[in-house]
């Protein structure tokens, strides 16, 4: 049961209708999260803008999906964990072992591992990261551009995790349950 009523694209008006039409055109579907976000067109517009900007950044889709999985698991967000597992497998083409590992902020590739570790450290430290953690990421090849995007993705993922949990958005993805509640 949702905490907020979804705005159906067929009956949406104004800015909400325009934004939902953009989502449908871009994705070929309109996920429940965006329908519920459409109750606040400013929120939906902000989410789409940040997501769009970050998707044009230096981090490739498989890394972005792993970051989303680690954050969703940490925050206990079933909706995001489900969505990013499906997207990770079917669009970013991440194998099942790596998808499962990402939930624990783990990756086989050292560079990706460094980015996941940094994101996890930032989340758990509420933004406070010591110099050693940053140096470890840099020693693994992380650039300042990538580090900045890790923070951007963390913010985006926390936004969607918290929104989906608060709004109790009906999960329209194959369900993946968080291992522990946040």
pLDDT value for 150: 98
Comparing C-alpha atoms, which of 54, 64, 67, 58 is closest to residue 144?
A: 58
Q: Do 77 and 149 lie in a common domain?
A: yes
Model confidence at 2: pLDDT above 70:
no
> How many structural domains is the chain composed of?
2
What value does the mean pLDDT take over residues 80-88?
98
CB atoms within 10 A of CB 166: 11
Q: Do 93 and 66 lie in a common domain?
A: yes
Q: Do 118 and 141 lie in a common domain?
A: yes
In a domain, 177, yes or no: no
123: domain range? 61-167
CATH number at residue 148: 1.20.1290.10
Q: Do 51 and 65 lie in a common domain?
A: no
Tokens for 67, please give them.
Answer: 């970051």
Sign of the CA dihedral with 128 first, then 132, 136, and 138 last: positive
pLDDT value for 181: 58
What value does the mean pLDDT take over residues 116-137?
97
Is-contact 72 161, C-beta < 8 A? Answer: yes
Model confidence at 54: pLDDT above 60:
yes
Comparing C-alpha atoms, which of 54, 50, 35, 75 is closest to residue 167?
A: 35
- Taking the C-alpha atoms of residue 60 and residue 14, their distance in angstroms, rounded to an integer, is 34
Q: Do 49 and 83 lie in a common domain?
A: no
What digits encode the pLDDT tens for the residues 141-171?
999 999 999 999 999 999 999 999 999 999 9
What digits encode the pLDDT tens for the residues 4-47?
999 999 999 999 999 999 999 999 999 999 999 999 999 999 99
Matching residue, tokens 């579907």: 29
pTM for this model (two decimals): 0.95
What value does the mean pLDDT take over residues 101-128?
98
What percent of the chain stands above pLDDT 70? 98
Instruction: Collapse the DSSP code of 178 into the 3-class scheme (helix H, G, I; strand E, B; otherwise coil) and give the result.
Output: coil
């Amino acid at each position: 049961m949702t905490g907020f009523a979804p705005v159906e694209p067929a009956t949406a008006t104004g800015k909400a209708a325009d934004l939902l039409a953009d989502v449908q055109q871009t994705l070929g579907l309109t996920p429940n999260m965006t329908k519920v976000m459409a109750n606040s067109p400013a929120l939906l517009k902000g989410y789409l803008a940040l997501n769009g900007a970050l998707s044009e950044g230096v981090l490739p889709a498989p890394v972005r999906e792993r970051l989303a999985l680690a954050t969703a698991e940490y925050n206990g967000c079933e909706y995001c964990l489900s969505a990013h597992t499906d997207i990770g497998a079917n669009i970013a083409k991440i194998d099942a072992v790596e998808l499962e590992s990402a939930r624990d902020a783990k990756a086989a590739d050292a560079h990706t591992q460094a980015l996941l570790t940094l994101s996890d450290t930032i989340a758990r430290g509420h933004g406070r990261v010591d110099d050693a953690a940053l140096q470890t990421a840099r020693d693994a090849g992380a650039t300042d551009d990538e580090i900045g995007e890790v923070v951007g993705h963390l913010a985006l993922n926390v936004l969607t995790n918290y929104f989906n949990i608060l709004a109790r958005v009906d999960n329209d993805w194959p369900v993946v349950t968080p291992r522990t509640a946040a």
